[in-house]
């Protein structure tokens, strides 16, 4: 869809949400905040689960890029494989889009200011930075998950991760004491069953 004339000459931000509603909605709230500050908005989205253009504000631009995701993978609950496949397949189309946008940034779409991508879009974030664009990652999930991201390097340095030499598939749950992004201690929880109340019965069976 052609951009609105109200966007002509405005600096443009490109937003790349992950194709899950819980990730799209926070990105659209950020888009509204940026738009209110005078930025033109482009929503860049893989073809799989692309939002309905009619439900976006009239002067937002929606661009879809090919992802080549098999329908059975898109319909599955294998989120990790889906996200990995998206990153692998969308890196090149994302690069092509950004390269074209930079080449045409003096046109009616306005100058490209920066890119905001969901934190799980690690490949497109790398592409944007390689092209010299400011690229920001948006964490759309809870503060607890953010702490996991912050703790991961320290847990690897302390050899808690990856788990080595385990023969059992039984789930191990640790209580982690942190200060900032530093792990002070990680100790196994004795009553692990009580910590699994959020898991489904089928998930528990897979872990035991």
**Catalytic center residues:** 23, 118
DSSP helix/strand/coil, 133: coil
Q: Is the peptide bond before 162 cis (omega within 30 degrees of 0)?
A: yes
Q: How far is CA 104 from CA 14, 56, 101, 134, in A?
A: 14, 24, 5, 17
Q: Which two tokens stand for residue 65?
A: 């890029």
**Which H/E stretch holds residue 88?**
helix 79-103
C-alpha count within 13 angstroms, C-beta hemisphere, residue 174: 15
Q: How far is CA 130 from CA 48, 52, 64, 123, 135, in A?
A: 26, 31, 21, 11, 10
What is the rounded (10 degree) CA torsion for 188, 189, 193, 196? Answer: -80
Cβ-based neighbours of 181, under 8 Å, separated by 6 or more? 150, 151, 153, 154
């Amino acid at each position: 869809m052609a951009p609105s004339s109200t966007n002509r000459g405005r600096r443009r931000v490109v937003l790349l949400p992950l194709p899950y509603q819980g990730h799209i909605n926070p990105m659209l709230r950020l888009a509204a905040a940026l738009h209110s500050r005078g930025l033109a908005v482009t929503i860049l989205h893989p073809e799989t689960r692309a939002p309905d253009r009619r439900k976006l504000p009239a002067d937002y631009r929606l661009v879809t890029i090919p992802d080549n995701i098999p329908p059975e993978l898109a319909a599955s609950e294998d989120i990790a494989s889906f996200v990995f496949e998206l990153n692998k397949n969308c890196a090149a189309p994302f690069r092509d889009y950004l390269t074209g946008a930079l080449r045409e940034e003096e046109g009616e779409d306005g100058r490209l200011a920066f890119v905001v991508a969901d934190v799980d879009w690690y490949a497109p974030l790398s592409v944007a930075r390689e092209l010299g664009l400011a690229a920001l990652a948006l964490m759309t999930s809870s503060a607890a998950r953010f702490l996991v991201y912050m703790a991961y390097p320290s847990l690897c340095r302390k050899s808690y991760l990856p788990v080595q030499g385990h023969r059992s598939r039984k789930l191990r749950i640790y209580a982690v004491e942190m200060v900032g992004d530093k792990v002070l201690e990680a100790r196994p929880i004795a009553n692990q069953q009580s910590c699994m109340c959020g898991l489904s019965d089928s998930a528990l069976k897979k872990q035991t």
